[in-house]
Amino acid sequence: MAHINVLSKEISELIAAGEVIDRPASVIKELLENSIDAGANVITVEIKNGGRTYMRVSDNGYGISRQDVPKAFLRHATSKISSASDLGGILTLGFRGEALASVCAVAKVELLTKIREDAYGTHYVIEGGEEKLNESSGCPDGTTFVVRDLFYNVPARLKFLKKDTSEGNSVSGLVTKIALSHPEISFKFIRDNKVELLTAGDGRLYSAVYSVFGRDFASSLIPVEHTWNGVHVFGYTVKPLSAKNNRKFQNFFVNGRYIRSMTCCGAVEEAYRNCIMTGRFPACVIGVETLPGIVDVNVHPTKIEVRFSDDKVIYEAIYFAVRNALMKLDTPVELDMSRTALSGQDYRAAPPVRDKQMKFSVTAQTDEIRPEKLSPPQKKAAAPLRKEPDNVKENTADDDTDTAAVAKAKENVNVNAASPDADTSQKAEDTAQTAVYDTDGSECSDKGNDREKVDDSAVTQQIMEEIADFQFISQQSFERRTQVVEEDKETEQPQEPVVIGELFKTYIVAQQGEDMLLFDKHASHERYIFEKIKNNADELESQMFLEPVPVLLSYDEYDALAQNVDKAAVLGFDIEPDLAPTVAVKGVPIILGDENPSDIVSQLARNFLECKHNPQLEIFDELYHSVACKAAIKANDDSSLVELQALVNMIWDRDDVRYCPHGRPVMVRLSKKDIEKQFRRIV
């Protein structure tokens, strides 16, 4: 048996330093946190060769008194805490008293510091933990650290450093994140004698975002501001169409400290659910302010990870904040005409192609077309907006991938989305079939049928009553939406858009005041049906098993599911906790068909464990997508002007119908000013 030896001071300090300092970015992080805690409002960071040979951090903070300089480099020496009770309310970035001791143990450190009350400052040099110089010196107020030759005395750690470019990029990323977390401080970052970053330090987060990420990124953001159960969330999040292809642009800060948190990340991505394209991720700069007592920052040596006393409160606060911002401030997509502008070129050089010109489905009229002036529709084989469930079955009969469960789900949720009032819809259908009209409103024959005299005004009035009777959302779904967004109802409602035609049998052309609107009729109708199905699917019918199916979970998943059995029952799951960590699954929603119960229940337990506001499984969304896509009107379907107007009336002011379930926009807007610019009426 080997003898137990007490490690020497040199070895123990090197081991301890390895927990905190593993690359140049670690040194910069510790020094920057000390500068911020010292009350600095101007900080300069400079590195050379990726920080391996030279690092400098200068600030105009309080400085260190001459008698305290040697003590500052001792392990567990700090001015941030003095008693055990202070650990429960830490508001500073640093508090362990290990930063300077760890840095000087593996590098050559030079310090210049001066407090405002002293006439002279202090010049201090320490290498490998041994003091080399301590003298008075003239220097400005504040502190400057110069770190040279990192890991000069630890060759094993030195060889694991990456290339200078990679290490420099790591330092750059760290500085930008700290600059975002403290917009009240002006940061300058110099890399190999070139200034890469300079923030204003004006206290505005948007200014810091603009300086760090540039104009294009900043212009794609919408502000976030919300308070939930004492947790204040603020910052910016990106518009869904400007999402990124990875999560590297997600930045979270808790009480001014940059952190990595799956709770925060999951809350943001859940808020974007069904509004973002597959394979894309939201970008954000979000700060969280809360009582320090509910955040434990002492769980990681580098303090990059924290622990919350109640993850659910933090999750919901961020979720509601981002969801509110998306529903209130994410305006319809503006059609960008800058790339298609003539820009002084000869328009005769590229004559327009005739088969790509606009074609409207109705003849132009001199008067403004309003719903009460619309002519009755032509007779159709089936009105796209008034599909009965039987029609949906016919459309999906040839689809071999459809399961009986999906067909059953369609019948249960009644995908007759556009006409909730079956009696009114049927009356309008019978009335529309009694006569056929040309686009100008005059009666005509259809395949040799005799003309029949019908009162035009009566037909039009009947159709308009049908449009007016549409029930956009159920009372239950409305109550759910008002919990997420408190809509500000103005006394003057915006002018409703008026449909003036259809483009390529796919896009609805409408006018609203001084704007032209283009709607994707399939995407619009698909999202409307999707929301209707989802809002009416709170209690799903269950399919019971002959014998319970045992499902083995992890212990934390078991606990989360056992505490939410009632919520699982609302989703159609009959689950009974068994001997931990096993649950007995007695039934699952019919809509799931032949899906493996073990995989489904495990995913459900994981959603409860992650405190998701809506624990409904993603597979539900996929099935709802399938139902809505097949039930919605398609591109190239024949649609009358009245039917198009009805669809626009249903969706144009809906906050939850801005993107199709796949993340594509349902509407784009083009202003009159932009159109007049193209024709050079204005410049």
How far, in Å, are 44, 179, 247, 255 from residue 185 at the CA level? Answer: 10, 7, 26, 15
pLDDT value of position 540: 62
Q: pLDDT of 621-658, one tens digit each?
A: 666 666 677 777 888 888 888 888 988 888 877 777 77
Say which DSSP state 244 is in.
B
**pLDDT average, residue stretch 584-594:** 78
Of 142-151, 459-468, 632-641, the range with the highest mean pLDDT is: 142-151
pLDDT value of position 532: 76
Q: What are phi and psi of 194, to 5 degrees?
A: -125, 135
- Edge to edge, the sheet with strand 542-552 lists 542-552, 582-589, 574-577
Predicted confidence band of residue 2 (pLDDT cuts 50, 70, 90): low
Question: Given a cut of 50, is residue 432 above it in pLDDT?
Answer: no
Report the SS3 class of residue 468: helix
Burial class (CB in 10 A: 0-12, 13-18, 19+), 315: buried
Question: Which has the minimum average pLDDT: 56-60, 363-367, 524-528, 660-664?
Answer: 363-367
Question: Is residue 28 within 8 Å of 178, Cβ to Cβ?
Answer: no
Nearest CA-CA partner of 56 in 219, 220, 182, 171: 171
Record the tokens describing residue 147, joined without a space.
């770190």
Residue 74 neighbours by CB under 8 Å, 6+ apart? 97, 101
Question: Given a cut of 80, is residue 12 above it in pLDDT?
Answer: no
Q: pLDDT of 508-541, one tens digit each?
A: 899 988 888 889 888 888 888 877 777 765 556 7
Strand 333-334, strand 667-671: pairing: parallel
Return the ∠ at Cα 349 (arms to 344 and 355), rounded to 5°. Answer: 115
Distance CA 532, CA 515 (A): 28
Distance CA 195, CA 217 (A): 21
DSSP string across 280-346: -B--EEEEEE--GGGEE--SSTTS---EES-HHHHHHHHHHHHHHHHHHH-PPEEP--TTTS-TT--
Q: pLDDT of 13-53, one tens digit each?
A: 666 666 678 899 999 999 999 999 899 999 999 999 999 99
Question: Which has the minimum average pLDDT: 104-118, 195-209, 290-304, 410-424?
Answer: 410-424
Query: What predicted TM-score, i.e. pTM, was given to this entire model?
Result: 0.63
What mean pLDDT, rounded, does the chain reach?
Answer: 75
Question: Given a cut of 80, is residue 104 above it in pLDDT?
Answer: yes
How far, in Å, are 17, 235, 246, 375 from residue 300 at the CA level? Answer: 14, 25, 25, 71
For 499, the enclosing helix (H) or strand (E) is strand 498-503
Distance CA 652, CA 646 (A): 10
Domains of the chain: 9-198 (3.30.565.10), 220-330 (3.30.230.10)
Distance CA 436, CA 456 (A): 11
